Amino acid sequence: MDTSREDQLLFAKNFGRAQGWLLLENFAEAERALRKIPPAFRRRPEVTLVRGALYLSAKDWKRAEPILRRVLKHDADEPQHWVNLAFAVRRAKSIAEAEPILLEARERFPKVAVIWFNLACYAAQLGRLNEVPTLLREAIRLEPDFKEPAKTDPDLAPYWTGKA
């Protein structure tokens, strides 16, 4: 990529600002900083990742989904990218459309507890209460810290109350 020193400095400055504003949860300023990044740098994986984090944090699910798909395309070896995409798809569209994303993630990363936990939540929400105990047990076996959230997560309420 042939970029001027000025563009490189603008990238560094505005990328840093975007990250800072995102940490401060000032989503409008973070987005403004991302828009000031020179065009030659806007499709870089790290910029795409920050933009995806911005839309997730801002709960802008419809804008998050295509960005998170691009993040996943660049780095399918990071389990959290799969979880983030499923999260956005669930909210932008439906659990039914998000679940296949997590099922593929479980195949790729069978030892990642958050995937199992989210699949348990999806099963509960979709009324497949008989699947929940197996999914939850595996999530908690892999990561014991999921035991307490499992008791209070609203997505699992249908399982605990026995009402789907």
pLDDT tens digit sequence for 50-71 = 999 999 999 999 999 999 999 9
DSSP state of 148: H
Angle at 80 between CA 111 and CA 151, to 5 degrees: 70
CA separation for the pair 25, 57 (Å, rounded): 8
DSSP state of 77: T
pLDDT tens digit sequence for 74-114 = 999 999 999 999 999 999 999 999 999 999 999 999 999 99
User: Over 60: is that where the pLDDT of 45 sits?
Assistant: yes
Higher model confidence: residue 113 or residue 2? 113
Taking residue 37's Cβ as centre, other Cβ atoms within 10 Å add up to: 23
With 0-12 CB in 10 A as exposed, 13-18 as middle and 19+ as buried, what is 59?
A: exposed
pLDDT over 70 for what percent of the chain? Answer: 98
Q: Check residue 84 and give its pLDDT.
A: 97
Nearest partner of 34 among 75, 62, 67, 66, judged by Cα: 67
Q: Check residue 55 and give its pLDDT.
A: 97
User: Over 60: is that where the pLDDT of 1 sits?
Assistant: no
Name 164's Cβ contacts closer than 8 Å, sequence gap at least 6. Answer: 124, 127, 128, 129, 158
User: Over 70: is that where the pLDDT of 34 sits?
Assistant: yes
User: Over 90: is that where the pLDDT of 13 sits?
Assistant: yes
Q: Tell how far CA 103 is from the center of its chain.
A: 15
129, 164 contact by CB (below 8 A): yes
Residue-averaged pLDDT of the chain: 95
User: Over 90: is that where the pLDDT of 134 sits?
Assistant: yes
User: Over 70: is that where the pLDDT of 164 sits?
Assistant: no
